[in-house]
Amino acid sequence: MTRMLIIGPPGSGKGTQAERISERLGVVAISTGDIFRANVKGETPLGIEAKKYMDAGDFVPDSVTNKMVRDRLSEDDVENGFLLDGYPRTTAQVEYLDEILAKTEEKLDVVLQLTADDEELVARLLGRAKETGRSDDNETVIRHRLDLYHEQTEAVVAKYAERGILTRVDGIGAIDEVTDRVLLAIEAAKAV
């Protein structure tokens, strides 16, 4: 059983690598971004609220995000492990996730951080915006999201580094090369 999360700045390939890790390790990938976008598309109350923040490049408030993650982690398909993508993003969310896992006497096995240069990320995200027409990907919003990542999420990375479960992997390169690096890093982390 593997319980892990993948962290990295917007555009670092978290979603792509999460899918590949999920397939290889046989664990369910849980992306808060996908859940938010599905709610926005379905115009649910959560989606309407989340869209305001997403379009501005801001994080959806912890109160909304925490409840969604708690509910998702109570589903049966996480019994054999999970891979969280996009959560936790703040130290308050780290503490909330700790509480969720403590209730079932579980903890995270590994935290994988994909790293990449900001300018490379801006170029990637602008290219993706042209391909997909995502309203939340223009240069101003992208740079704001990167600033938020550096301001808030890096504190999360530091917490997991202190616990000794953080593994950093270079997210730049061909998708298969990054996947190979990721899988080797996960195996090395689990062997410790």
Q: Which of 51, 72, 124, 145 is catalytic?
A: 145
Is residue 134 among the annotated active site residues? Answer: yes
Residue 128 known to be catalytic: yes
Asked whether residue 81 is marked as a ligand-binding residue, the answer is no
| 58 known member of a binding site | yes
Q: Which of 3, 20, 51, 89 is catalytic?
A: 89
Of 191, 151, 187, 169, nearest in space to 8 by CA: 169
Q: Does the annotation list 22 as a binding residue?
A: no
| Whether residue 67 lies in the annotated active site | no
Residue 82 known to bind ligand: no
Tokens 């990167």 correspond to 146
Q: Does 164 appear as a known binding residue?
A: no
Q: What is the DSSP string of 166-192?
A: EEEEE--S-HHHHHHHHHHHHHHHHH-
With beta carbons less than 8 A apart as the criterion, state whether 75 and 21 touch.
Answer: no
- Active-site residue among 3, 14, 20, 72? 14
Binding positions for ATP: 11-16, 128, 173
Binding positions for AMP: 32, 37, 58-60, 86-89, 93, 134, 145
